[in-house]
Amino acid sequence: MPINQHQPITTDIFQQDWVLASNNKGKLSEFKRLFAEANLNVTIIPQGELNIEDAIEDGLSFIENAIIKARHASRISGLPAIADDSGLCVPVLGNAPGIYSARYAGEHGDDAKNNAKLIADLQSVRAQSPTTAIKGLFVCVLAMVRHADDPLPIIAQGLWQGEILDKAHGDGGFGYDPLFWLPDMQATAASLSASDKNKVSHRGQAIRQLLQQL
Convert the pLDDT of each residue in 5-64 to its tens digit. 444 444 466 657 899 998 888 778 877 777 777 777 778 899 999 999 999 999 999 999
> Could you give the CA distance from residue 197 to residue 60 in angstroms, rounded to a whole number?
28
Convert the pLDDT of each residue in 54-101 to its tens digit. 999 999 999 999 999 999 999 999 999 999 999 999 999 999 999 999
Cis peptide before 97 (omega within 30 of 0): yes
Catalytic residue among 12, 58, 85, 110: 85
> Could you give the CA distance from residue 108 to residue 47 in angstroms, rounded to a whole number?
18
> Could you give the CA distance from residue 75 to residue 65 in angstroms, rounded to a whole number?
15
CA dist 212 to 40, 48, 126, 205, 206, Å?
12, 27, 41, 11, 10
Domains and CATH numbers, the chain: 13-213 (3.90.950.10)
The model's pTM is 0.87
Under the banding of pLDDT at 50, 70 and 90, the label for residue 163 is very high
Cα-Cα-Cα-Cα dihedral sign, residues 102, 117, 179, 209: negative
**Has 85 been annotated as catalytic?**
yes
